[in-house]
Amino acid sequence: MPKSIEELNELVKNNDGYRINVKVVANSKSNSIEFLDEYIKIKITQQAIEGKANKAIIQYLSELLGISKTKISIVKGEKSSIKIIEIKK
């Protein structure tokens, strides 16, 4: 598991697709990301209603990594706080 946004960016660049385990905390005061041993914790300001938090997660990761939103997808956990996200280069 990567320990920083830079490490994650390198893993994405060096692989055709890279999957990360994510725990999402919706309805937070601000957007933030924390790299833990088993997963990446993403706090997002959007509420988990009608997919708003999922869209915000993709937008946030897109901005952090400097890649298109179309290269980021939630492959498991659409309606859960625990997700698997795939990032393609």
Residue 77 burial class via C-beta count within 10 angstroms: exposed 0-12, middle 13-18, buried 19 and up = middle
Per residue in 10-28, pLDDT tens?
A: 998 888 889 999 999 999 9
Per residue in 29-41, pLDDT tens?
A: 999 999 999 999 9
CATH class entry, domain 5-88: alpha beta
Average pLDDT over residues 80-86: 96
Domains of the chain, by residue range, sit at 5-88
How does residue 63 score in pLDDT terms, banded at 50, 70 and 90? very high
Q: pTM of the predicted model, to two decimals? A: 0.92
Per residue in 39-50, pLDDT tens?
A: 999 999 999 999
Contact call for residues 66 and 46 (beta carbons, < 8 A) = no
